[in-house]
Amino acid sequence: MTDYFSDVMTGLGNVLSFPNIFIPVIGTVVAMVGSFLPGIGNTSLAALVLIATIHWDPVSVLLMFGALTGGATFMGSITAILFNVPGNAPSAAVLLDGHPMARNGQARTAIACAATASAVGSLFGILALLAILPLVRPFLLEFGPLERVLLGIWGLSTIISIPNSSPSRALAVTLLGLICAMIGSDPTTGLERWTFGSLQLFDGFGNVAVLLGFFTLSEIIGWRKSYTISSEDRELSTGSTLEGVKAVFRHPGLTLRSSILGSVVGVIPGVGGTVASFVAYSQAVQTCKRPETFGTGDIRGVIAPEAAVDSKDGGSLLPVLAFGLPGSEGGVILVTVLGIHGLTPGLPMLTDGLSLSLTLIFALLLSNILTSIIGVSLSPALARLTRLRIDRVALPALVATLVTIVQLNGFLADLYVAVAFGLLGFVFKRLDWPRVPFIIAFILGAFIERNFALVLPLVSVGRINFWDRPAAIIIAALIILSMLWMLSGRKKAQLEKAKPRGPEDTVLAGILCIITLALALAPFYTRGSYSDYALTMAWCATALLGAITVLGAAGGRHPRLEPAIARIHLIPVVLLALTPPLVWALGLPVSMAALTFAWLMTGTEFSVRRPMPIALLALLVFAGTFYYVAEFAGLRLPDPAILTVMDGLPFG
Amino acid sequence: MRLPTAAEIITGAGVGLLATQAVAQDLSQACIDQLSDAPMSIVVPNSAGGGYDTYARALAPPLAEAIGTHVRVVNMPGGGGLIASTEVARQGDDEILMLLDNFIDIVTNTDAVSNDVTPDDFAAVALVVSEPRAWIGPPDLDLSDPELTTLIASGGTLQSSILDIGLVARALGLDVRVIAGYEGTSDNTAAVLRGEVDFTSQSMGSALRNLSQNGLTVAAVLDDQPAGAAPEAPLVGGDAGLVMMRAAGLSEEERQARMDAARAAISLSSTQRGLVTSAAMSADRLDCLRQAVWAALQDPAFVEATGAQGREIDPLGWEDAELMLSEARDAWMAVAPEAEALMDAIRP
């Protein structure tokens, strides 16, 4: 124990000594700036830093990479809260309540709360890590496919308590989310499933493309000035920083539960922050009183995912340090970093190299605390951004979102996916279909299926026995307890009764029913691998949506959308729908310029009488996008189709 | 002052020798013009951070220096590498794309999965390193034990496990069932550590790292030559290999069939990390590209960058690389008709 304490002090000394302290500070700032730029992923940034630090000494490198790991996590939440644009996939859970808070004039509170929850979660994660580090190897081996699938089911069980929705619609969208998560290749055979021959769908829908489409693009459609944000809204306060900080400590149970959850999820290789944040959000909905306020700007919906994501950072170091098993791309880089500098992950990092492991851990802690301090300090300034006129925020947000989507993998298909999910999200929102269970099912669906597909054969060959696995028993007990809690009379009474079904509701259910029916029948006319699990989901969704359609058609009346509102939304809907084919035909920079021009020409702020500033702005967007894509981001996009056509012409 | 170790002296001398060779192989101005005419990218079929990405990022700067223009590293994950290989095969004249991938994967993916691109659409540029795969498992896993007949393995997908598990199992006369769906090397290693499976197959580099980190053992090297870093590890092929041991007492016909399976498994399971480009590229440009890449592979900056990251390199020029690519095509074509049967054999 004395040795352990001595190593702890050495690790702390490495971080806090002069001039070492500057390294994590610089690393944190680099990671924060990098993660704020669209599409510059933390992994790419780390890969570049890896090359630049080859000749550094091990302590300095560990300080830098600890800071890079911690610095990038929080910043994604800022854009999620302010503009509904998640900087990374794990931040998407924060926007569910964070952005509604900003819309309700509480941006400052939300940012301060997220920063505080992040710091507390991180501190908890690191303390938990320090506590279990000497015993970590047997602990880690407790988490296999069975525990993972149960963890996923626990997250999914939240649909029971989805507020403001009928259970049948919540279940239907959950099934749809699971089906969307299964598009791609079968996890066991590797054969195509529901890709309809598209190579770019081979690995399924990209998480970020779906999240940005479903939440951000759908939101931007609703951001036409004359519809959503009125001038009165802009006069609202942006909330209180102190209130945000205090909120975390007013919910100690929630913060603690989410931090524990994040730490546990972190130590499981391959699970990651996105699952951690959504399971934590689900857990908050399940266990909190008055769940009906979630999704409308409930501060508990900010605390839970934020605490979980940051406490996960500490836990995620464990598999790397204890076994050399990276659970993420960031982990792969960390293993490489350790290897470069002669450090062997595994037992050596927990014995002779323990002080170096602790240096990495403390650098991560320092970085997380720094980002939180910066977040709290900047919250008043950042919150003022929400006072900008929404029509002026919408265009930059739209262009940044579209560039990010295309830049992720350089796939045009991602743009189609994002726009399709943007329109779907908008329709869900307008017709009051629940969006949260859909996205939770989508995020957890692939994770559940992959592990479920492992559990079945492992059970059949006798390599897994539920009763021999204490972690599985504990998670199963948690699932049962939380479901009983949600189904208890008190909770049930809080669920809003199903709203009357109307023509639009029925039409949407009918369309979704036809789509799932087509997918359920797809095995008969497309090649590929369709597990029983996948087909069961498709048939169940078809049956449920069919029932909603039939019952809806026979049901009551519902007021139609106001025609004026529909026309306002028609313009962004049409522009968005035209964007993917435009990018295909003209390339990204020209399309962004054209989109900017059309957006402003059809807006209420500018008019045709002022074409010059509009044209200049469009030109600026073109130049900026071109420079960013070609020079800065280094993205290689497919040639615009129009150039290919011109190649065949005499003057081409 | 610390004196250099013997290893450092040898490394330094090697780097110096390679530097001399690189200088001697400066590109002609015609080649520089030919290559700087179009933007050049090294396409990696994985996300940033992995082994292939490391090689590409280390190779790009010396290559850029050789041709005097920027060389991008483009990460193009997806489709098990097929998206990247399709992009490279279909490149236009206005750009130069090279794919850094495993030759075997390029061949099997384009032949087995894609209808649009075939292995013949690629021309080899150079090989960076070739290493065999190995089966790793707990220390008590002894594949020479004749009593051992049934094993459970972990793998990525059934399709990807055909060659390095299914074919080898056939050669060894083992009934191996693959639990497919584990993601990446880490997940597969964890499955062995948790006792869910008896072994998993990995590249030799990963296997050796596991030896030191987790107390696992290399149960078999899928090769017929001793591996430099693990000379004591049992080999699958060769006169004293596991196949010969386990086939003792069988009929000559059966022994021969197993040896054939072992040869195919060895040639199709090794990891041959190399660069290919489109076979449709003009002969002049392809020739210049091969010269430029060869010079970059020997550049001290590349040697140092990969060495510092613990990555082995053993570059081979385009003729050898083309031969390996061609052998991979032939070996796969011989096995491909049996792929379905092999997949069924390893299905749990």
CB A314 within 8 Å of CB A129: yes
Taking a contact as any Cβ pair under 8 Å apart, which residues of chain B between 313 and 332 contact chain A? none
**Interface contact A488, partner B, CB < 8 A:** no
For A477, residues 6+ apart whose C-beta sits below 8 A from its C-beta are none
Question: Looking at A20-29, B18-27, B35-44, B151-160, which range is the least confident one?
Answer: B18-27
Mean pLDDT calculated for residue range B292-305:
89
Is any Cβ of chain B less than 8 angstroms from the Cβ of A270?
Answer: yes
**Mean pLDDT, residues A522-533 taken together:** 72
Assess contact for A273 and A237: CB atoms under 8 A: no
What are residue B218's phi and psi, to 5 degrees?
-85, 105
> Would you call A360 an interface residue with chain B, using a CB distance cutoff of 8 Å?
no
- Return phi, psi of residue A146, to 5°: -65, -45
Determine the distance in angstroms separating the CA of B104 from the nearest CA of chain A, rounded to an integer.
Answer: 17
CB contact under 8 A, B305 and A330: no
- Give the pLDDT confidence of A138-173 residue by residue, as tens digits: 777 778 889 888 888 887 776 666 555 677 888 888
**pLDDT per residue as tens digits for the range A339-354:** 777 776 666 677 777 8
Best probe of the B interface among A43, A48, A51, A351, by most B CBs < 10 A, is A51
Contacts of A543 by beta carbon, 8 Å cutoff, 6+ apart: none
Q: Which residues of A touch B86 (CB under 8 A)?
A: 199
d(CA A312, CA A129): 10
Determine the pLDDT at residue A652.
35
B103 falls in which pLDDT band (50, 70, 90)? Answer: very high
| Contact partners, residue A8, CB within 8 Å, separation at least 6 | A130, A358
Alpha-carbon gap, residue A94 to B2, rounded angstroms: 54
- pLDDT tens digits along A379-422: 888 777 766 666 667 777 788 888 878 876 777 888 899 999 99
- What would the two tokens of residue B177 be? 């069932």
Q: Would you tell me how many other CB atoms lie within 10 Å of the CB of residue A384?
A: 13
Which percentage of chain A shows pLDDT scores above 90?
Answer: 5
- Contact criterion met (CB < 8 Å) for A202 and B181: no
Of B86, B94, B310, the CB nearest to A339: B310
- Distance between the two ends of chain A, CA-based, in angstroms? 76
**In chain A, positions 513-532, which contact chain B (CB-CB < 8 Å)?**
none
| Continuous H helices in A183-328 | 207-211, 218-221, 231-234, 241-250, 252-267, 272-287, 300-323
Q: Supply A269's token pair.
A: 């290789």
> ipTM of the predicted structure?
0.81
B231 to A561, B210, B212, B221, B227: CA distances (angstroms) = 75, 16, 15, 10, 5
Establish if B225 touches chain A: CB-CB under 8 angstroms: no
| Chain B residues within an 8 Å CB radius of A329 | 47-50
Confidence of residue A355 (pLDDT cuts 50, 70, 90): confident
Q: What is the mean pLDDT of residues A250-276?
A: 81
CB B100 within 8 A of CB B128: yes
Q: Which domains does chain B have, with CATH numbers?
A: 6-131+271-334 (3.40.190.150), 133-269 (3.40.190.10)
With CA atoms as reference, the chain A residue closest to B304 would be A54
Within 8 A of A39 by CB-CB distance, chain B residues are none
Q: What is the mean pLDDT of residues B184-212?
A: 84
Percent share of chain B, pLDDT over 70 = 89
> Which residues in B lie closer than 8 A to residue A336 (C-beta atoms)?
49, 54, 309-310
pLDDT at B294: 93
Query: Which pair of tokens denotes residue B136?
Result: 């790793």
Q: How far apart are CA A85 and CA B157, in angstroms?
A: 35
- Residue of chain A nearest B186, judged by CA positions: A325
- Give pLDDT, residue A325: 65
Listed by number, the residues of chain B in 38-67 with a beta carbon closer than 8 Å to a beta carbon of chain A are 41, 47-50, 53-54, 57-58
Cβ atoms < 10 Å from Cβ of A641: 14
The B residues from 149 to 178 touching A (CB cutoff 8 Å) are 152, 156-160, 177
So what's the pLDDT on residue B124?
A: 95
* Range picked from A332-336, A409-413, A589-593 for highest mean pLDDT: A589-593
Pair of tokens at residue A158? 């939240």
The pLDDT of residue B236 is: 92
Would the pLDDT of A317 be above 60? yes
Do the beta carbons of residue B15 and residue B284 sit within 8 Å? no
For residue A539, what are its two tokens?
Answer: 């048939």
DSSP symbols for A192-228? EES-TT-GGGTT-S-HHHHHIIIIIIHHHHTT-TTTS
Q: What pLDDT shows up at residue A398? A: 83
Higher pLDDT, B229 or B172: B172
CB contact under 8 A, A344 and B157: no
Tokens of B325: 């690519």
Q: Tell me which of A636, A639, A643, A647 to substitute to probe the interface with B (most B C-beta atoms closer than 10 Å).
A: A636
Q: Above 90 in pLDDT, residue B122?
A: yes
Q: What is residue A642's predicted lDDT score, i.e. its pLDDT? A: 65
Q: Do B179 and A410 touch (CB under 8 A)?
A: no
What was the pLDDT predicted at A650? 47
What is the band of B210 on the pLDDT scale with cuts at 50, 70, 90?
A: low
Per-residue pLDDT, averaged over A182-188, amounts to 87
Residue A463's closest chain B neighbor by CA? B196
Confidence at residue B152, expressed as pLDDT on a 0 to 100 scale: 96
Per-residue confidence (pLDDT) for residue A143, from 0 to 100: 80
pLDDT value, residue A237: 59
Q: What are the tens digits of pLDDT across the range A17-29?
A: 888 888 888 888 8
Cis? peptide before A19, omega within 30° of 0: yes
pLDDT-above-70 percentage for chain A:
77
- Whether the CB of A199 is below 8 Å from some CB of chain B: the reply is yes
Q: Do A636 and B74 touch (CB under 8 A)?
A: yes
Least Cα separation, residue A399 to chain B (angstroms) = 23
